[in-house]
Structure 1
């Protein structure tokens, strides 16, 4: 994990379980001229994480996040000690927006801070091409872990972090790889990204209250808060992982994706497509709604999303929707666009490990139309053996994944 509020899996979980928020005034650049001026930034020093000056120069911030997280995950897996076959090892990495920070910096350089209509290419860095192609992120991770099998970049907007992991699982199931390093990364806190969301008024205006600015399912919400970060996992077939004595955190029991084909930024109020993704993921996992112990909600903090998501749960889970604890960790780490789906998978796995449901921070005045159990303010001890995590994104993307304790499905 590399997330706002602390580097590493332990720091990430402590923040979530304590209900602390990492949202603050933007410090990465001067945001004084923008409508929304708050974000959840990661305190990240690439040198402290062992990246060389050459790597730092070559890679965008999001690529740096991915490499650091991948090295942590790979070390934790113990695979480096097993004589891994590089041709049977792959990478599936998600990103929503690629490298906006590096591209902004490069444009400023070649245009002399916007003063030149015809840019001067001699001021461009050698890494400019890599910043244009998000596939470079997956290549960097592959080089970091020695993967020479299938290497893929998945970019499906805000569902990228779920879809990339689902794609990795499918590659293992079909026999194309034995091991997949997978997850997602994004560093969207940049002038161009902020301007885009300012234009459609999607981000919050709680600039004077940055610590409580992200308010999913709350009646006082005013939009989402940008975030950044990465989460990376190592996937294997369960029997193979157990054979080599690996610590297995969870099993991907089922997943599904649907598109509404409706509107670039709008959502149907009935939540039908998200509900169908949930239903198909449950069917693939051979589980019923009553088997789900916790839902890691998309919970972006916009009224449109919150109502759409609530309707989808009622449609897919029936009466049991009112009995399942649900929460949005975006209330604490913001919305990092493509990477947040993988970060929410990590939170789901940790919730199962600790039998603790993280809270929806800042949920003090629940929206009466969002009448499910969205676990306000404080974490809750709760037996958690099966988790549903979902995502929705611009373009009409809707994805769902079911994660279970491996011992639960064996039983």
Structure 2
């Protein structure tokens, strides 16, 4: 398989004059635009874009330096009303919106590939299947806040958008042939309309390994260490885990520490800032040991238990869930879709855990709509869900009759 190559590697645009000239070229061209953004996840605290790539047929590829340029109002005005093509758009929309770039019409090639039934949906795999080209992806996890950016990284970044419009056309053809264009349009619109996630009330509970921390006092120590790390990470714009890994916070919360010396001697307390900021961490531990604001053993955030526990906690919900799952799997296989795209797993769990009081096709559809399901998803699944729920109501009676 031939490797995708560039005729030339674009340079990074980091001046106002060059930016406005590029915007003029993009505005003069026509058709959809391919857009991508590179962040420094795992390196920086912020999720800002450190490179934005834009390609339009008739204009070419442009690589913009967001920290240098600032706001992108002129680019938004030039391309804001046309279709934007992104791969896995939900990963980039937030950082694009942060600089004023926000599409009104979207084609997501990753989501489109899922809907088209492609077995692998990473950009490299999709390029191979649709265009017959190998796309190198060795810089996907790079620190894009690096300056200057190496030429090999710029080549990688430019190829991500230069091929995207051709990929979009191939996927659109497959969706049309499969009768899924309307489904895709609804899914793309849902990606654009999805609101930003609400901040977690207790984000520290997402610490990896927190379930091994026992007791409210130890949880308070873990919470204060998480807060201290988060504050410092914001201050130095560094990924929190690079400063102090989750495992170190959990180890300190579990250990019987009486002094800063004990903390410094704890071998499992590691990380680039573990010793350099030892006063900060010890102050957090002391705060956790002294506070009267002790956290609950479990999160206060509303959630439903994992389905594996339903048989004991809610046998009725368990019967509904066991009845629904194979029906949804069969529907998904019939239209060549991943079952998680047929209906979001969280929506399935929620309607099984708390169904409408009266089980009808209309009530199931209204509940699914309230959860955020799209019209095509409701049309495809509501009848099957209603049938499974009615069957679940009858299951205890049938079991009793068969045993008599």
Larger Rg: 2
Instruction: For CA contacts below 8 A with separation 6 or more, give which structure has more relative contact order.
Output: 1
TM-score (norm 2): 0.20
Higher helix share: 2
